[in-house]
Homo-oligomer: A and B are copies of this chain.
Amino acid sequence: VIVTLLTDFGTADYFAGAMKGAVLSVNPAVTLIDITHEIPAHDVEAAAFTLSAAFDSFPAGTVHVAVVDPGVGSARRPIVVEAHGHFFVGPDNGVFGLVCASARGHRAFHLTNEKYFRRGVSATFHGRDVFAPAAGALTLGVGPETMGPAVGDLARLPFTAPRRLDEHTLEAVVHIDHFGNCLTNISRADLPPAVIESGARFSINGREVKALRRFYDEDVGADDEPFVIWGSAGLLEISVNRNSAARLLDACRGQVVRVSTARVETVNDE
In the complex, the answer to whether B54 meets A215 with C-beta atoms within 8 Å is no
Q: Which of B14, B16, B28, B71 contacts A2 (CB 8 A)?
A: B28
With an 8 Å Cβ cutoff, the count of chain A residues facing the other chain is: 68
Where chain A touches its partner, the secondary structure class is loop
In the complex, the answer to whether B124 meets A42 with C-beta atoms within 8 Å is no
The docked-state distance in angstroms from the alpha carbon of A25 to that of B178 is 25
The docked-state distance in angstroms from the alpha carbon of A129 to that of B57 is 10
The docked-state distance in angstroms from the alpha carbon of A194 to that of B74 is 22
In the complex, the answer to whether A41 meets B179 with C-beta atoms within 8 Å is yes
List the B side residues contacting A41 at CB < 8 Å.
Answer: 178-179, 242
A188 to chain B, nearest CB (A): 12
Given known pairs A73-B218, A217-B70, the reply for A11 and B36 (CB within 8 Å) is yes
Among A22, A41, A230, chain B packs the most CB atoms within 10 A around the CB of: A41
The docked-state distance in angstroms from the alpha carbon of A74 to that of B124 is 42
Of all chain B residues, the one with the shortest Cβ separation from A29 is B31
Interface status of A224 (Cβ within 8 A of chain B): no
A236 to chain B, nearest CB (A): 12
Among A10, A51, A54, chain B packs the most CB atoms within 10 A around the CB of: A54
In the complex, the answer to whether A12 meets B36 with C-beta atoms within 8 Å is yes
Interface status of A58 (Cβ within 8 A of chain B): yes
Q: Which of B28, B32, B33 contacts A59 (CB 8 A)?
A: B28
Q: Which of B18, B55, B216 contacts A72 (CB 8 A)?
A: B216
Interface status of A53 (Cβ within 8 A of chain B): yes
In the complex, the answer to whether B74 meets A215 with C-beta atoms within 8 Å is yes
Given known pairs A124-B232, A125-B232, the reply for A216 and B31 (CB within 8 Å) is no
In the complex, the answer to whether B42 meets A217 with C-beta atoms within 8 Å is no
Of all chain B residues, the one with the shortest Cβ separation from A30 is B31
Interface status of A13 (Cβ within 8 A of chain B): yes
A170 to chain B, nearest CB (A): 22
A13-B178, A19-B57, A28-B31 given; name 4 further pairs at CB < 8 Å: A9-B178, A70-B241, A74-B217, A123-B215
Name 26 interchain pairs, CB-CB below 8 A, sorted by A. Answer: A2-B24, A4-B17, A9-B178, A10-B178, A11-B36, A11-B37, A12-B36, A13-B50, A14-B51, A17-B36, A17-B54, A18-B53, A19-B57, A21-B33, A21-B54, A21-B58, A24-B58, A24-B59, A25-B58, A28-B31, A57-B128, A70-B217, A70-B242, A72-B216, A125-B231, A125-B232
